[in-house]
Amino acid sequence: MKAVILAAGQGTRLRPVTLTMPKPLVPVANKPVLFYALEQMVEAGITDIGIVTGDTASQVEEA
């Protein structure tokens, strides 16, 4: 099964937090919010996951 996570955008409503980190990497309970979505997809049996990141791709890839 395939899935796409939409994680692009500047995160203006999360400022000032997103001035220094991409929106998908903002921590919730000490874990980036993007990781919660990834974990749930893997748990659901999704094996092919794409992430749309926009201009923060390099930072998200490093995480």
Record the pTM. 0.82
**Model confidence at 63, in pLDDT bands (50, 70, 90)?**
confident
Confidence of residue 55 (pLDDT cuts 50, 70, 90): confident
24-57 as b/e, with b when 16 or more CB fall inside 10 Å? bbeeeeeebebeebbeebeeeeeeeeebebeebe
pLDDT at 24: 93
